[in-house]
Amino acid sequence: MKLLVCGGAGFIGSAFVHQRVAAGDEVRVLDALTYAGRRENVEGLDVDLVVGRIEDPGAVEQAAAGVDAIVNFAAETHVDRSILDAQAFVTTNAVGTYTLVEEARRRGVRYVQVSTDEVYGSIREGAFTEEHPLEPSSPYSASKAGADLMVLAAHITYGQDVVIARGSNCYGPRQFPEKLIPVMTLNAIHGGPLPVYGQGDQVRTWLHVDDFASGIHAALAHGESGQAYNVGGAKEKINLDVVRRIIALTGASEDQVKHVEDRLGHDFRYALDSSKLRALAGWEPRMDFDEGGLESTVHWYRDHEWWWKPLVATDEYRAYYRRVYGQDPAF
């Protein structure tokens, strides 16, 4: 296939691009190269990189020329940033999705929206199926839920060929140091405080980025038009236990754990039922969080200072980190 991968220079998007290039697909990447998107993430791959924003119709029209499908990873993704200022989330996640869906409709090509378990809100017991209502809790998840509904409306209204893939918490190489695992890993390696929200008893289900990427391809290749598919991890973990495991892997001390004020509107637990995707395409996550997944990720950050160091050396990053955690990072 000839694919337009929006946000393909970011964390999850670049994992998908690596897989599809290896599989022989022709890939064009549209990416704004903001703080979380980097040329280095697709360096050495035979891809056509177009620099532009998904809310820009001109850039989208140029990038979409001749493609068979559009897969949209492009998004503002961090809940903390959305709480501080939601404007960019509305612009990219909602307006950008609308722009892409319109282009896909104009060209008559399949459109895949990459979404998140956070659109469902929090669940105390059991797991979300695709039939659960969307009850987002943050400006970030609200903007993603709105985008999902816009995509589904395009199918209902116009009969447009669309599919949604909703993933659980991802981890792995090339994740910007604002999410739990890279932040804790880098602080642990450098002997600094490990800022844990509240009591650290929030529950997340972890999915390696390569497994999410393969699940998205399963939805692209086999998904029924107008349907959403959950792409969930197999390991449910309490946040504080994840931090303790990182401490063990890095040789840090539990004395470094510093409980900070909890995030506003913090969802307690996410869990996805992925049986619909498994039945459709036989998809299964392959990377075990406990048996090599987390450890290989920690080692990647330890061995790739050249990748993350320029990202965290900026005044913008330091100011953001202080606003969120009330302290400076150790790295």
Which residues are catalytic, by number?
117-118, 140
Note the pTM of the prediction, 2 decimals.
0.96
pLDDT of residue 234: 85
Q: What is the pLDDT of residue 51?
A: 98
From 3.40.50.720, 1.20.1260.10, 3.30.1490.20, 3.50.50.60, which CATH number describes the 2-170+207-231 domain? 3.40.50.720
Burial class (CB in 10 A: 0-12, 13-18, 19+), 29: buried
Indicate the domain borders of the chain. Answer: 2-170+207-231
List 116's β-bridge partners, or say none. Answer: 167
Give the whole-angstrom CA distance, residue 105 versus residue 98: 11
Spatial contact of 218 and 277, defined as CB atoms under 8 Å apart: yes
Helices (H), the chain: 11-22, 57-63, 79-84, 87-89, 97-107, 139-158, 180-189, 209-222, 239-250, 275-281, 294-303, 305-312, 315-325
Pairing of strands 235-238, 194-197: unpaired
Model pLDDT, residue 110:
98
In degrees and rounded to multiples of 5, residue 194 shows phi and psi of -105, 100
Contact yes or no for 170/297 (Cβ under 8 A): no
Structure confidence at residue 281 (pLDDT): 83
Site of tokens 């050396």: 313
In angstroms, the CA 174 to CA 171 distance is 9
Which residues, including other chains, have CB under 8 Å from residue 45's CB and lie 6 or more apart? 17, 18, 21, 27
3-state secondary structure of 29: strand
| Distance from the Cα of residue 68 to its chain's centroid | 23
Kind and range of the H or E run holding 206: strand 203-208
- Residue 88: the pLDDT is 96
Q: Angle CA(253)–CA(254)–CA(260) in degrees, nearest 5?
A: 125
At 235 the pLDDT is 87
What local confidence, expressed as pLDDT, does residue 146 receive?
98
Contact 266, 202 (CB under 8 A): yes
47, two tokens? 């891809």
pLDDT of residue 111: 99
**Which residue stretches of the chain have pLDDT < 70?**
none
Among the residues of 193-238, which ranges form H helices?
209-222
